[in-house]
């Protein structure tokens, strides 16, 4: 949510920034509502001041046992008027709130301006594409032949865009999650969190998934819970409605959770393999920071995510997202894309964002600064990383001419010291 004072005082700035995001938004209705809100507020507050004064009189007269019948009669009408105006004010306020909740964040000045993903800027790349003396297979072939991934049986029990990890596939998936959590908690100073996977509506509004993206979320009809689309939702909202001590910042959390997305409107897209699923596993990194440090914390967050790929020795590139490609709540973001030799393309395995105070304002996450003032924190998050894109990358990059898969060095301790998966689909 944007600061309404900023909207009121610098509407042209807001218009320009949103235009940078390729959003032609007519701010006028919102500004009109805000003007109306101030008008009504001023009027009704005068009446309330009058009422408060009169009430004080009545209370005093009553104490002296004087007759107050006439005063009460006179106040009745005023009470009615106030009630009516409060009703109007409430209507204006809820309209205003709805409008505010659906406006995306403003892009930071350093974000590349552009219409879509083609305007994203490559910031750096690490490692090289591996050379194969044979034609590398895509992960869905490997997964099928080696008995690691079973999408057909998943379809029977759930449907399209689900997968059953089996045998070495299940084990490798679990090893990856463990490895990523260990790295982030032991080397990068994140605290491990394992949150609920069902959250309430307020939490979804707090991080910005709602109201805009309700159609992309799984929702339980009976209780109005949402299956989390990312651990960002429960973990960031851990501190909603709180005032944090400045000394606690930055707060750094790492959380493994399954993530659930309806992927509405993607029918027929990325159906090969497991890169786009209704349920996938992800280790998420969340930071709650002082506003002065959030951009430095964003850079180090990206490095923390990159660290996983480097340890796995996977070639990747980092892209600064353009104004046309960044997410709703983000002020600035980077994507990490890893090379899939079998598929012959890069896939996003992480997206790291600074939301500045956008989420903090919605979720009411504040801190006391060194002047004793209560201010909004900045929130950040990034995947560290998503396994549905990472496991395929490992399978495709580490496949052998014989048709098996080597285990990356760092994962060997996590699979009981085994060094490879044989062409028969067993650890060895």
Chain contacts with RNA (rule: CB under 7 A):
4-5, 8, 38, 41-42, 44-46, 48-49, 51-56, 58-59, 62, 72, 75-76, 78-79, 83, 90, 242-243, 368, 370-372, 374
Lookup result for tokens 């690490």: 126
The span from the CA of 262 to the CA of 214, in Å, is 10
Nearer to RNA, 372 or 417 (CB): 372
Helix (H, G, I), strand (E, B) or coil at 268: coil
Beta carbon of residue 298, minimum distance to RNA (angstroms, whole number): 26
Nearer to RNA, 74 or 191 (CB): 74
How many Cα atoms are found within 13 Å in the side-chain-facing hemisphere of 376? 15
Beta carbon of residue 372, minimum distance to RNA (angstroms, whole number): 3
Number of H helices, E strands in the chain: 12, 18
The span from the CA of 300 to the CA of 304, in Å, is 6
CA 413 to chain centre: 32
Q: Give me the catalytic one of 294, 322, 350, 351.
A: 351
Within 231-375, residue ranges assigned H as helices are: 232-236, 294-311, 358-363
Tokens encoding 327: 């997410």
The neighbour count for residue 22, using CB atoms within 10 Å, is 14
Strand order in the sheet with 219-220: 198-199, 225-227, 219-220
Beta carbon of residue 101, minimum distance to RNA (angstroms, whole number): 16
Q: Give me the catalytic one of 93, 192, 263, 348.
A: 348
Beta carbon of residue 223, minimum distance to RNA (angstroms, whole number): 8
Beta carbon of residue 54, minimum distance to RNA (angstroms, whole number): 6
Q: Give me the catalytic one of 161, 261, 362, 366.
A: 261
Helix (H, G, I), strand (E, B) or coil at 378: strand
Q: Is 261 a catalytic residue?
A: yes
Beta carbon of residue 154, minimum distance to RNA (angstroms, whole number): 24
The neighbour count for residue 210, using CB atoms within 10 Å, is 20
Q: Is 284 a catalytic residue?
A: no
Tokens encoding 333: 């973001």
Nearer to RNA, 38 or 191 (CB): 38
Nearer to RNA, 12 or 371 (CB): 371
Nearer to RNA, 35 or 121 (CB): 35
The span from the CA of 388 to the CA of 140, in Å, is 12
Helix (H, G, I), strand (E, B) or coil at 342: coil
CB 219 within 8 A of CB 376: no
Q: Is 389 a catalytic residue?
A: yes
Q: Give me the catalytic one of 201, 276, 317, 375.
A: 276
Question: Beta strand 365-368 with 242-245: parallel, antiparallel or unpaired?
Answer: parallel
Nearer to RNA, 94 or 424 (CB): 94
- Please list the active-site residues: 261, 276, 348, 351, 389
């Amino acid at each position: 949510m944007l600061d309404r004072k900023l909207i009121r005082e610098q509407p042209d700035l807001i218009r320009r920034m949103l235009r940078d995001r390729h959003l032609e938004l007519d701010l006028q209705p919102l500004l009109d509502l805000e003007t109306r809100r101030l008008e009504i507020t001023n009027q009704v507050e005068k009446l309330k001041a009058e009422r408060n004064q009169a009430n004080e009189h009545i209370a005093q007269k009553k104490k002296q046992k004087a007759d107050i019948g006439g005063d009460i009669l006179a106040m009745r009408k005023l009470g009615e008027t106030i009630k009516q105006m409060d009703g109007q004010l409430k209507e204006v306020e809820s309209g205003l709130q709805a409008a505010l909740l659906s406006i995306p964040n403003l892009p930071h000045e350093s974000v590349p301006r552009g219409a879509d993903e083609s305007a994203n800027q490559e910031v750096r790349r690490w490692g090289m594409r591996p050379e194969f003396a044979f034609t590398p297979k895509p992960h869905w072939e490997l997964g099928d032949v080696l008995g690691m991934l079973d999408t057909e049986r998943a379809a029977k029990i759930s449907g399209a865009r689900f997968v059953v990890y089996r045998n070495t596939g299940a084990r490798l998936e679990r090893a990856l999650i463990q490895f990523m959590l260990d790295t982030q908690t032991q080397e990068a100073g994140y605290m491990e969190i394992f949150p609920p996977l069902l959250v309430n509506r307020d939490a979804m509004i707090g991080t910005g998934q709602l109201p805009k993206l309700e159609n992309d979320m799984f929702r339980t009809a009976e209780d109005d819970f949402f299956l989390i689309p990312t651990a960002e939702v429960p973990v960031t909202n851990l501190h909603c409605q709180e005032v944090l001590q400045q000394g606690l910042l930055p707060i750094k959390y790492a959380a493994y959770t399954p993530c659930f997305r309806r992927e509405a409107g993607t029918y027929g897209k990325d159906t090969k393999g497991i890169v786009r699923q209704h349920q996938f596993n992800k280790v998420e990194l969340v930071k709650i920071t002082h506003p002065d440090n959030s951009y430095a914390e964003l850079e180090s967050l990206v490095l923390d995510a990159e660290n996983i790929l480097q340890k796995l020795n996977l070639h990747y590139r980092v892209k600064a997202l353009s104004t046309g490609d960044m997410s709703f709540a983000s002020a600035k973001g980077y994507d990490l894309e890893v090379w899939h030799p079998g598929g012959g393309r890069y896939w996003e395995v992480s997206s790291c964002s600074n939301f500045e105070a956008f989420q903090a304002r919605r979720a009411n996450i504040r801190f006391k600064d060194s002047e004793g003032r209560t201010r909004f924190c900045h929130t950040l998050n990034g995947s560290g990383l998503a396994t549905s894109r990472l496991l395929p990358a490992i399978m495709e990059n580490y496949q052998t001419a014989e048709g098996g898969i080597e285990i990356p060095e760092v994962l060997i301790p996590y699979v009981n010291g085994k060094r490879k998966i044989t062409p028969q689909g067993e650890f060895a």
